């Protein structure tokens, strides 16, 4: 097994940095494009109120950001910080997981508030049940 100092100069590590940079750019582009999509669709991204469908868009952007971007960042934290202290990589890993949980919880609460204000029944679709299941498994694991 090579020591980390030898790995830093190798081509393999350079490819890793290149792929990590491409990954970060794709993640940031995903968040920007999702924000643009949800902000231009319907009445934009707004906290839900009666007669306002902004909560649906708020739900979409927060769920997408939490479950795709921040979860991906949390998973990559161990790889990216593998030559730093274990405490740092764990801290970054946990911080991104907590951000993911905060974002998708906010997205879920926006949808629940929207449905309460619009007098629509909750959890009537397969989408909602799969979403609750995914959230439960994500938080429990």
Predicted TM-score (pTM) of the model is 0.83
Domain parsing of the chain, residue ranges = 4-140
Question: What is the assigned CATH class of domain 4-140?
Answer: mainly alpha
pLDDT at 7 over 90: no
pLDDT at 62: 93
CB 88 within 8 A of CB 115: no
Residue-wise pLDDT for 90-137, tens only, equals 999 999 999 999 999 999 998 998 888 888 888 999 999 999 999 999
Residue-wise pLDDT for 41-70, tens only, equals 877 888 777 766 767 888 889 999 999 999
């Amino acid at each position: 097994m090579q020591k980390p100092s030898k790995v830093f100069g190798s081509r393999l590590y350079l490819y890793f940095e290149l792929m990590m940079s491409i990954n970060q750019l794709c993640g940031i582009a995903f968040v920007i494009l999702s924000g643009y999509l949800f902000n231009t669709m319907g009445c934009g991204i707004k906290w839900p109120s009666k007669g306002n469908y902004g909560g649906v868009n708020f739900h979409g952007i927060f769920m997408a950001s939490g479950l795709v971007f921040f979860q991906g960042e949390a998973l990559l934290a161990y790889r990216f910080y593998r030559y730093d202290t274990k405490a740092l990589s764990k801290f970054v890993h946990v911080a991104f997981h907590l951000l993911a949980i905060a974002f998708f919880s906010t997205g879920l609460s926006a949808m629940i508030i929207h449905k309460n204000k619009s007098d629509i029944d909750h959890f009537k679709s397969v989408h909602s049940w799969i979403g609750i299941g995914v959230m439960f498994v994500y938080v429990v694991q």
